[in-house]
Amino acid sequence: MAGYVREVSRRVFAQEFRESNLTFKDGDDQYSPQYLLTPTGAKVNRLFIVGTLIEKEDIGTDSEYWRGRVSDPTGSFMIYAGQYQPEAAQALAECETPAFVAIVGKPSTYTTAEGTVLTSVRPESISIVDVTTRDLWVADTARRTLERVKDLDNMDSNVVKAKEHYNTDKDHYSSMVKEALRSLKEDL
């Protein structure tokens, strides 16, 4: 039996997520998974984020369609949940702002008329968490991002692709990580 392999939830800071704009499919048929490739070479089909929900708004016309903004130490993620994400939409409708939330979701991109690619997250689940979980996530995401920055020399095909497309500046992302980690110490 060929096992179904669940996609790993990648760890990416909001700033890097926002600076991503390269999507591709692994395979040719319509069921092939879609990926977002980030500047440090994370191949993202699913991601796990923890941050502060600072805004939410129902922007739907016929049915509820929730938009949320979740902040981390480097920026913010946009979250969209409608009728196809009923549990997440309900969670967004019910929760207060600000609040610490954990989100598992899929990356999504939208290209504006000017050609700018905007990234957002379609949540599979949203749950309320505490500040400790939020701090653990920042450290966790810092560690994974550092691993990717280090691997920018050890080129596998994703890294090659990411570097070609973004001309990735190592320092840009290592200082982003540094700032995020330092913010954890300042808070104590």
Partner 1 sequence: MDKTAENIKSKFLELGVDIPIEDIVDRLDKLVTKFKVPLDEARRSVITYFLKENDLDRNAFFGGQSTTPDSRSTPDVKLNGIDEGGKWVNIKAKVLQLWDSSHESVSQVGIIGDETATIKFIKWARDMIPDVEEGKSYYFKNVVSNEWNGRFEVTLNKNTVVEELDEDIEVISSPIGGAGDGQPAPMVNVADIAEDGKWLSIKVKVSQLWDNSHESISQVGLVGDSTGTIKFIKWTSADLLDLTEGNSYLFNNVVAQEWNDKFELTLNKNSSIEELDEDIEIASSSIIFAGAMVDVQSGSGLIKRCPECKRALTKGACMEHGKVDGTYDLRIKAVLDDGNTAQESILKRDLAEQVSGITLDDAISMAADALDQGVVLDQMKLKLLGKYFIVTGSKVDRYILVDSIELQDGLDMEMLDELITEAEVL
- Scan residues 112-151 and list those touching partner 1 (CB under 8 A): 112, 114-118, 124-125, 127, 129, 131-137, 139-144, 146, 149-150
Q: What number of other Cβ atoms are within 10 A of residue 167's Cβ?
A: 8
- Return the H-helix or E-strand segment holding 142: helix 131-150
The one segment of 29-37, 58-66, 178-186 that binds partner 1 by CB under 8 A = 178-186
Helix, strand, coil % in the chain, rounded to nearest 5: 30, 35, 35
Output the CA–CA distances (angstroms, integers) from residue 144 to 13, 58, 118, 186, in the order listed.
10, 33, 23, 21
- Scan residues 94-113 and list those touching partner 1 (CB under 8 A): 98-104, 112
Output the CA–CA distances (angstroms, integers) from residue 86 to 21, 23, 64, 83, 133, in the order listed.
27, 26, 10, 5, 24
Minimum CB separation from partner 1 for residue 149, in Å?
A: 6
Minimum CB separation from partner 1 for residue 33, in Å?
A: 13
Minimum CB separation from partner 1 for residue 83, in Å?
A: 19
Q: Using CB under 8 A, which of 23, 55, 95, 108 touches partner 1?
A: 55
- Scan residues 62-101 and list those touching partner 1 (CB under 8 A): 69, 71, 73-76, 98-101
